[in-house]
């Protein structure tokens, strides 16, 4: 009976999808009457009320920064965090801009201190360094100004962040605030707001260090309130029903999450793991593996989904630490597990490929790159006759892959004709295409900077609508070779060097491999 109640609770809550405190506050707002007269007066009243609310929240924010008395400070922090959620989206933007601009560092003071510092003369003489301990008096002015400079280079809003971090619910509130900042920056890149985001991000990285996080093995026995968040925030392979959830938490499966004491009952990030005999080549093997193999027969831990629950923690790589912790835990608990790998989506592949194919019309034959080899183009033109036409193979390929119906998947000939060029171009995309010296694909960049290598590219590994749209159904296995994780990560960070198996390299031309190695 208790299990049925728990299942019903999860089902009902996830159908309603968890709402943020901000959304709840917005949903509770009263809307004006549709009556003409009342509409005008209500609109005026709402405007006055919004202005009053904004003024009150701004005052509480100032109090939270400037006051030191504990009782008043706690009340100000509570008023500010609660009042923030009552503000409209536009008023939040104005408030955050106010915080970024009016509570920034004191640049006049910084400039004055820099002038004083540049006006000091270092002790002269060849033995100045050797006699530094004897000449402490000569350096006292340097130490004093340097100390004052360090203090002046800290923005005033640091006080608000520090105080909120120690306030109940403050860390979660800061995460929501940063999510708003990122949203506003996506609309307009404002320098002061960008500086505010950068500073808050650095603070969150410190407060969310692995030492402050708790690794939790999530099971079906956990509270329904926690499991509903797994269902709601699963970002890679949506959980279809309660049976699916129970399977992902059952025999042959593991789910680990990072929790923070300040945000109890809600994982900041979680990873799903399948215990298997071999590295899976399709997501169907993982999600529909019923019944799973006995765990004692497993030799591979496959990471098939990793999801963050906090948009405000974007850019903070908690996944890196989570994967390494999970590897350590699994190795300790299950010594038979020798292989650690992923079955990962390739979210940017189709966007990259379609943009390449589209250059044919824009650039003309002189400057456009022919992505197809002669035999590939010939096979594709023959197979595509009943579906589409085009001046050349690249145009036909664009017509097929840009179609949202994905009819080519159901053809007998087209998958065979498309497989060779799509796999070859996917290897190129993963291994060679870069942005600022790092892998262009976001998922690839994540795993490579964590120390993984590209192990295998899998054809028709994800036949879902999302999988076909992102990468024509192709997925990739990244391999975490335990003894080489740190070495691979260092080579990637320092040189942009990507490690890949011979199988992946075999898709590329010999000269392309040589060019990549020379560039690295």
pLDDT at residue 301, as a whole number: 98
Give the helix/strand (H/E) hosting 394: helix 393-402
- 24-105+155-207: CATH topology is Butyryl-CoA Dehydrogenase, subunit A; domain 3 (1.20.140)
- In this prediction, residues 207-235 reach a mean pLDDT of 94
pLDDT at residue 388, as a whole number: 78
Query: Looking at per-residue confidence, does 471 or 124 come out higher?
Result: 471
Which residue from 218, 291, 225 is spatially nearest to 256, judged by alpha carbons? 218
Q: Is the pLDDT of residue 37 over 70?
A: no
- In this prediction, residues 403-424 reach a mean pLDDT of 95
- Catalytic site includes residue 198: no
Q: Is the pLDDT of residue 18 over 50?
A: no
Q: 492 with 498: CB under 8 angstroms?
A: yes
State pLDDT tens for residues 218-227. 999 999 999 9
The single residue of 344, 363, 378, 494 carrying the catalytic annotation is 344
Given this structure, which CATH class describes domain 349-513? alpha beta
What is the spatial distance between Cα 39 and Cα 20, in angstroms, rounded to a whole number? 29
Query: Looking at per-residue confidence, does 149 or 290 come out higher?
Result: 149
The CA R_g of the chain, rounded to the nearest whole Å, is 28
Instruction: Name which of 8-22, 141-155, 232-246 the model is least confident about.
Output: 8-22
Q: From 3.30.70.360, 1.25.40.340, 3.40.630.150, 2.130.10.10, which CATH number describes the 212-342 domain?
A: 3.40.630.150
Domain boundaries, the chain: 24-105+155-207, 107-152, 212-342, 349-513
Which residue from 508, 502, 475, 488 is spatially nearest to 279, judged by alpha carbons? 475
pLDDT at residue 21, as a whole number: 42
Give the helix/strand (H/E) hosting 354: helix 349-367
Query: Looking at per-residue confidence, does 127 or 238 come out higher?
Result: 238
- Do domains 212-342 and 349-513 share one topology? The answer is yes
0.75 cut: is pTM over it?
Answer: yes
State pLDDT tens for residues 248-260. 999 999 999 999 9
Q: 308 with 269: CB under 8 angstroms?
A: yes
- In this prediction, residues 340-349 reach a mean pLDDT of 97
Give the helix/strand (H/E) hosting 419: helix 414-431
**How would residue 52 be classed by pLDDT, with cut points 50, 70 and 90?**
confident
- Catalytic site includes residue 344: yes
The single residue of 167, 237, 260, 447 carrying the catalytic annotation is 447
Give the helix/strand (H/E) hosting 382: helix 374-383
State pLDDT tens for residues 451-493. 999 999 999 999 999 999 999 999 999 999 999 999 999 999 9
β-strand pairing of 438-439 with 453-458: unpaired
pLDDT at residue 340, as a whole number: 98
State pLDDT tens for residues 54-77. 999 999 999 999 988 877 899 999
pLDDT at residue 121, as a whole number: 83
Sign of the dihedral defined by the CA atoms of residues 152, 154, 156, 160, in that order? negative
């Amino acid at each position: 009976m208790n299990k049925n109640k728990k299942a019903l609770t999860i089902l009902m809550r996830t159908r309603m999808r968890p709402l943020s405190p901000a959304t709840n506050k917005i949903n509770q707002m009263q809307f004006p009457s549709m009556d003409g007269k009342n509409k005008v007066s209500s609109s005026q009243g709402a405007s006055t009320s919004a202005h009053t609310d904004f003024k009150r929240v701004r005052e509480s924010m100032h109090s939270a920064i400037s006051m030191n008395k504990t009782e008043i400070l706690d009340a100000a922090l509570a008023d500010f965090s609660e009042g923030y959620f009552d503000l409209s989206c536009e008023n939040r933007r104005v408030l955050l801009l106010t915080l970024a601009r009016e509570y920034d560092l004191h640049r006049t003071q910084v400039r004055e201190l820099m002038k004083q510092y540049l006006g000091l003369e270092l002790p002269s003489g060849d033995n100045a360094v050797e006699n530094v301990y004897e000449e402490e008096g000569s350096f006292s002015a340097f130490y004093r100004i340097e100390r004052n400079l360090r203090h002046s280079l800290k923005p005033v809003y640091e006080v608000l962040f520090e105080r909120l971090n120690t306030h109940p619910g403050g860390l979660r509130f800061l995460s929501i605030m940063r999510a708003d900042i990122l949203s506003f920056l996506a609309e307009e890149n404002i320098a002061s707001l960008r500086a505010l985001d950068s500073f808050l991000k650095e603070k969150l990285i410190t407060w969310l260090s692995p030492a402050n996080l708790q690794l939790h093995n999530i099971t079906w026995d956990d509270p329904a309130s926690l499991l509903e968040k797994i269902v709601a925030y699963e970002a890679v392979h949506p959980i279809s029903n309660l049976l699916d959830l129970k399977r992902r938490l059952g025999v042959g499966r593991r789910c680990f999450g990072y929790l923070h004491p300040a945000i109890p009952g809600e994982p900041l990030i979680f990873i799903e793991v399948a215990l298997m005999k071999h590295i899976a080549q399709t997501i169907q093997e993982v999600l529909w593996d019923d019944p799973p193999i006995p765990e004692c027969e497993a030799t591979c831990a496959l990471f098939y989904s990793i999801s963050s629950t906090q948009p405000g923690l974007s850019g903070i790589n908690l996944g890196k630490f989570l994967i390494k912790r999970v590897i350590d835990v699994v190795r300790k608990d299950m010594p038979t597990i020798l292989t650690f790998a992923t079955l990962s989506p390739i979210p940017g592949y189709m966007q990259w490929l379609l943009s390449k194919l589209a250059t044919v019309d824009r650039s003309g034959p002189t400057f456009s790159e022919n992505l197809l080899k002669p035999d590939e183009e010939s096979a594709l033109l023959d197979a595509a006759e009943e579906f589409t036409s085009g001046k050349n193979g690249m145009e036909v390929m664009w017509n097929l892959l840009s179609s949202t119906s994905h009819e080519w998947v159901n053809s007998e000939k087209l998958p065979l004709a498309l497989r060779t060029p799509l796999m070859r171009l996917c290897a190129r995309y993963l291994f060679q295409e870069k942005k600022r010296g790092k892998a262009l694909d976001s998922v690839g960049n994540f795993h490579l900077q964590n120390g993984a290598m590209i192990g295998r590219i899998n054809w028709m590994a994800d036949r879902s609508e999302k999988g076909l749209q992102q990468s024509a159904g192709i997925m990739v296995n990244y391999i975490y070779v335990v003894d080489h994780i740190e070495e691979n990560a260092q080579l990637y960070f320092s040189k942009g060097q990507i490690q890949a198996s011979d199988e992946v390299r075999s898709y590329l031309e010999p000269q392309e491999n040589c060019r990549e190695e020379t560039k690295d």
